[in-house]
Amino acid sequence: MNLDDKKSVLSATNNRLAWKLSLIVLAGLLFAFAIAPLYDLLCKELGLNGRADSTMTASDKHMKIDKTRWVTVIFTGNTMPGLAWSFSPAQTSLRVHPGEITLTSYMAKNNGADSELGVAVPSVTPELAALYFKKIECFCFKQQTLKSGESKKMPVLFYVKPDLPADVNTVTLNYAFYNGVTSLGQAALTQAGETPIKVN
């Protein structure tokens, strides 16, 4: 094989490799754009990530309260750096019967000198319990604006499904409050399908 033939074969090989790499990059980009809505759908269907599901299924509406069993629900909350708020649950824990709809609340106060926008990101642990912990009403993933010195009560209406595995006796609901105009806060709003605040 002469030098020109070798160059031709090498060029063809390089072209094939370039096309394969381009296809891999394109597939990665398509996957990146598709993963957010797929993840959002998965969270909604399976109750992952502590997302609020305001729709009750027919079986949920007719579920019976299991009065033979207690589940302790622990409530925690914190604010992330960049948000000058204090944030805490009104009650640190409650004992509930599975199937029993319960109302609790959190309190938030803006300790800063200016109005600030916050967004709360929930999580439920243990992870398995997220499938059985249903929030009917929740302030999570919603833009909350507090003026300087303003306080706000934020209710959470929830129930634990009666088919929660018998070995799970404690469930923790935690909220992390982010500044809504930071990149983390913006990401939380985008994940929830809300319109992020435009930052100048």
- pLDDT given at position 28: 60
Q: Which amino acid is at 86?
A: S
Task: Kindly report, residue by residue over 139-171, the tens digit of the pLDDT.
Answer: 887 888 999 999 999 999 999 999 999 999 999
- Residue 82: how many CB atoms within 10 A of its CB? 15
Q: Which residues of the chain have pLDDT under 50?
A: 32-52, 54, 58, 199-200
Q: What is the pTM of this model?
A: 0.66
Q: How far apart are CA 143 and CA 197, in angstroms?
A: 9
Query: In whole angstroms, how large is the CA radius of gyration of the chain?
Result: 24
Phi–psi pair at 121, nearest 5 degrees: -115, 120
Q: How far apart are CA 141 and CA 145, in angstroms?
A: 13
For each of the domains in the chain, give its residue range(s) and CATH number, in order of start.
48-191 (2.60.370.10)
Angle at 37 between CA 28 and CA 193, to 5 degrees: 130
Break the chain down into helix, strand, coil percent, rounded to 5: 30, 30, 35
Q: 39: Cβ–Cβ under 8 A, 6 or more apart, which residues?
A: 191
